[in-house]
A and B are shown apart, each in its own frame.
Chain A
């Protein structure tokens, strides 16, 4: 194999179609940035799920004096009610699903509330007996929230059962929608990138059709004839993908870590490590895309 020859052919091809090559680079750059963003977003969702699902609990709110009459006709829950709830949590039916639980009385709930809403006006007006006494249940598997909800909903003295996961799922569905949007835009961009690459390669092949004709005539192998063209597409797409890697890494470093993480200190965010995880995927995807698009485009010139 004459690599020097192949390299000089690639260089010539890239120079001859400069403007098309630049457009290929830009289109792969933009599409791969979208792909990368979608992937990073998925990693972020995964990370948040891990973090929050681990902490999500099911709250069994007991009736108190100000609970609505329809749900809590007997007013504040008696110690008997608490004992009944606790007995049920300890029962063999529920016990296997529960990791641990604890009881929070009015005073504890009030303290917790004051801490959580420190500096917020609402903290001043709320009183201890406005806050429900609550059994906080931590499940072994966060997906089993339904079991607790079904067991206690409608039980006398229980005002409401609330799985914290339902709040989280709303957030995740928004993030998922964003990631899906990015993927759809990326898919459209990838189609146009593939078409642009094959047009560029076809143009390049057309401008070298004399050489191609002679190569076929003297018996150059198909692989040898294709190689410069395919590599030409691959080089352009790789440059675009590398730019996308730079952009995605920059986004993670400067926007997510540098800005979001500062604004929301109690949330875990994706870091540089995650961005570097995405990088090889983007470069490989760009290369494969260009490889197949170029191969498809050049096929016509190789019919023997």
Chain B
């Protein structure tokens, strides 16, 4: 599903690599937490998997595509197989909830008929029935993140990349978001989630990959945020 081999990512003007000879494999249906301090390389790794960046050395294979050699014309089609959510939601403020979700389908050329059925379905899945006509600024932070999740999964991606999805939310709201992400994972979507949220990682007991200084220092099945002594 995802195979990262001996990847080194060096940014110009910085002698220390952001990722240093990283190798990681993720199976279909996995739920992986990426943890580590700021600057440990979590975001760089996410960017490589999204093909926002290419590695300096090594290879990144995602869903059968070699992202080091994929042509830039093919990149949009590769991205359609991925869903992404961010800490800052990235919703369009002048569009309603339903329009925000529909937008992501319109721009990849989906038919009106498909959009009309897919949008209410996905709103139900993330628990936002009845809020289709609200504008983002009329929603709470947790609800906005649910909209972002709905947008990420409406095209039924094989992989969900979540970059600190609970970073702006209080613990109770975060629990709700994690329940939705867990449900998405149960339905068969592979989830990669970068997070600083200790309690969530400890509670979920899923695979934990810990990065430090661009190196994987721990890869543990059913792990917690920190290694227990």
Instruction: Please report A residues at the B interface, Cβ cutoff 8 Å.
Output: 1-2, 5, 210-211, 213-222, 224-225, 304
**Is the Cβ of A1 less than 8 Å from the Cβ of B76?**
no
Contacting A218 at CB < 8 Å: which of B51, B52, B72, B107?
Answer: B107
Neighbouring B residues of A225 by C-beta, 8 Å: 107
A274 to B148, CA, bound (A): 59
Interface contact B76-A221, CB-CB below 8 Å: yes
* Contact residues in A for B52 (Cβ distance below 8 Å): 304
A-B contact pairs, 29 of them (CB 8 A): A2-B106, A210-B90, A210-B92, A210-B93, A211-B92, A214-B92, A214-B103, A215-B107, A216-B76, A217-B84, A217-B90, A218-B79, A218-B80, A218-B104, A218-B107, A218-B108, A218-B151, A219-B76, A219-B81, A220-B76, A220-B107, A220-B108, A222-B73, A222-B76, A224-B107, A224-B108, A304-B52, A304-B72, A304-B75
Known A1-B109, A224-B109, A304-B51: A214·B76 in contact at CB below 8 Å: no
Cβ A217 vs Cβ B103 within 8 A: no
Q: Which size bracket describes the interface of B in this complex?
A: 20 to 34
Contact of A219 among B77, B93, B106 (CB under 8 A): B77
Chain A contacts for B92, CB-based, 8 A: 210-211, 214
Known pairs A214-B92, A219-B80. 5 more at Cβ < 8 A?
Answer: A2-B109, A5-B107, A210-B92, A219-B78, A220-B107
B interface list, Cβ under 8 A from A: 51-52, 72-73, 75-82, 84, 90, 92-93, 103-104, 106-109, 151, 155
Are A219 and B108 in contact, CB atoms less than 8 angstroms apart?
yes
With a cutoff of 8 Å between Cβ atoms, the chain B residues found around residue A222 in the complex are 72-73, 76
In the complex, what residues of B have CB within 8 A of residue A219's CB?
A: 75-82, 108
Q: With a CB–CB cut-off of 8 A, which chain A residues contact B51?
A: 304
> Is A214 in contact with B108, judged by CB distance below 8 angstroms?
no
**A19 CA / B82 CA spacing, docked (Å):** 40
Q: In the assembled complex, which residues on chain A have CB atoms less than 8 Å from the CB atom of B93?
A: 210
- Are B109's CB and A214's CB within 8 A? no
Closest to B78 in A: A219
A17 to B93, CA, bound (A): 19
Q: A224 vs B155: C-alpha distance in the bound complex, in angstroms?
A: 18
What 4 pairs across the A-B complex have the smallest Cβ distances?
A219-B79, A219-B80, A220-B107, A218-B104
